[in-house]
Amino acid sequence: MELVVKHMPTINRAIQAIHERTFFAQYPEHPSPKIYGEDADKNGRKTFQSLVGKKFEELLQGNSDQWIGDEESPYMQEPLNISYPAFSSEELLSNADTAFHQWRKVKADLRAAILVESLDRVKNRFFEIAYATMHTTGQGYMMAFQASGPHAADRALEAIAMGYEELTRFPESVVWDKPMGKYNLKLAKEWRAVPKGISVVIGCSTFPTWNSVPGMYASLVTGNPVIIKPHPGAILPIAIFVAELQKVLKEEGLNPAICQLGVDSFSNMITKELAEDDRVKLIDYTGNSTFGNYLEGLKGKFVFTEKTGVNSAILDSVVDIDKVIGNLAFSLSLYSGQMCTAPQNFYIPASGIKTPDGVVSFDEFAQKFADNIQGLVNNPKAGPFVLGAIQNKNTCSRVDDFGAGKGKVWLESTQVENPMFENARTATPLVLEVDAKNEDSFSQELFGPIALLIKTENTTQSVALAKEMAIKHGAISCGAYTTDSEIKEMIADEMSLAATPVSFNLTGGIYVNQHAGFSDFHVTGGNPAGNASFTNPEYVIKRFTWVGFREPLK
């Protein structure tokens, strides 16, 4: 129980943070040498480079005759040639079923402590994970470090803490004493939190750890074995998490198959085989709505999804138009719009945006917005690193194809040169003007660097359209700008009915894209963008069942 003594203060502090909802971060987000060591970045880069072209042999999953890997660096547009041991669906499921009956009997405090220990081990590999993330997703270095390392670890800890609190919410046993007049009726009562069964976590190509570890750790802390099925294009970052956890499990005398990595290839995917198997009871998924809807329709499963959505920015009135535009331009350009929270539809009244210096017309805003984006992406010290690289070639095709005939082009999408990677696959934001009457042109998610400036009759119509898009097609984020308190409340009320969180009047170093662990709920689960939320109680309590036992006491 040494791990329980070691990590229970962290778990209790995380539970406190969940209730307080103020700033809390267990894992520092800045890659400072003072925090992580003078050589941490250099060593992490070397370790990553040493893995390229090799077998990833850290997993404790037994021997395999087949080693596969389809990862390609968006910065070099060359295969990484890293291979991983591949197992059939049946092997993975059989191993998980065996491990289940050991893991479910481990006390909740020890399960939680083992999981936190794994995060502390992963902390020592944040820089290696950063480079692995860069060269599988195309994220810029700073985002890759933060999102796949500290922020992902914080989200994992949040899931552990939420799960542990729910597992310990009720007493394990009591003596139930009911007065009956001349005698008392006494029963010995006991309750067990029984895990649902095998969990499958289906990863995505753009955020392979941040989107996967909440479900992974939520299932594990509640006693369920987990099979991580990563996206074939982004395996290494989450493989490192799994490897470190497996090492801790083995050290504690437990079966490493409690958490397995189930890799596949683009040509032979095993996702449906795993998802449809009767032994699988829990599924976590991040990705497109078509496949997400299929998963949600499977019977006998508890499915937690984050799917596609249409995110909005509503502009009514501002204090400083240039600061607003700077914030929105950065939000759109960050990781080339390849974030589930990136804004897409910008609703602007035909009469313009009110400011203390007068009204900024629709055209003035559009030109300023285009100029700001162009200034950012063409800045050699900022643009390439904010944009990162495009993970999937199809995203580039979508940007190239969408502009034709859809509306006035305020800014063409181009490529930018990355000073560190001459072959980097890049695409700057495309900015189009669209009339509010042409709903078909803005009623779908256009994943990637695409911004639609939608001319509306007034702010009321802007809000109505943003709400309609969220209800029909889902939304994960919404930005709104107004200096009118009544309009602000109207926007908050209307968008809340569409289960869409709103960020008001952001102008500084915080962007609509960013959601903070222990404070912001990521996805509400209340509109078509997803049926679950990182991390509320429902996210963990669906992963186990309370079962009671009782007998008379003499």
CA distance 92 to 262: 7
Q: Is residue 34 part of a domain?
A: yes
Determine, yes or no, domain membership for 348. yes
Question: Is residue 177 included in any domain, yes or no?
Answer: no
Query: 388 and 251: one domain?
Result: no
Tell me whether residue 126 is in a domain. Answer: yes
CATH of the domain at 381: 3.40.309.10
The string of DSSP codes covering 390-417 is -S-HHHHHHHHHHTTTTSEEEE------
What pTM did the predictor assign?
0.96
Same domain as 247, residue 135? yes
363 and 296 housed in the same domain:
no
Tokens of 103: 């893991």
Looking at the structure, do residues 21 and 93 belong to the same domain, yes or no?
yes
pLDDT at 247: 98
H helix or E strand, kind and range, residue 306: strand 302-306
Identify whether 525 is part of a domain.
Answer: no
CB atoms within 10 A of CB 434: 19
Q: Does 395 share its domain with 317?
A: yes
Structure tokens at 20: 């307080």
Q: With contact defined as beta carbons under 8 Å apart, do 205 and 291 qualify?
A: no
388 within domain boundaries: yes
Mean pLDDT by 10 residues, the chain (554 residues): 96 98 96 93 98 98 94 98 98 98 98 98 98 98 97 98 98 96 95 98 98 98 98 98 98 98 97 98 97 97 97 98 97 96 97 97 98 97 96 92 80 95 96 93 94 97 98 98 98 98 95 95 97 97 98 90
Q: Are residues 303 and 344 in the same domain?
A: no
Question: How many structural domains does the chain have?
Answer: 2
Looking at residue 405, its pLDDT comes to 65
Whether 333 and 285 share a structural domain: no
227 and 81 inside one domain: yes
Residue 323 domain flag: yes
Pair (20, 126) in one structural domain: yes
pLDDT for the residue numbered 379: 96
Is there a single domain that holds both residue 217 and residue 325? Answer: no
CATH of the domain at 51: 3.40.605.10
Domain enclosing residue 149, as ranges: 2-168+196-308+533-544
Cβ atoms of 522 and 539 closer than 8 Å: no
Inside any domain, residue 524: no
Tell me, yes or no, whether 412 and 336 share the same domain: yes
Q: How many C-beta neighbours within 10 Å does residue 222 have?
A: 30
CB 261, CB 61: distance < 8 Å: yes
Structure confidence at residue 1 (pLDDT)? 80
Which residue spans within 350-464 are E strands per DSSP?
Answer: 353-355, 358-360, 408-411, 430-435, 450-456
Residues 234 and 332 in one domain: no
Q: In terms of DSSP bridges, do strands 353-355 and 478-481 run parallel, antiparallel, or are they unpaired?
A: unpaired
Compute the chain's Rg from CA coordinates: 25
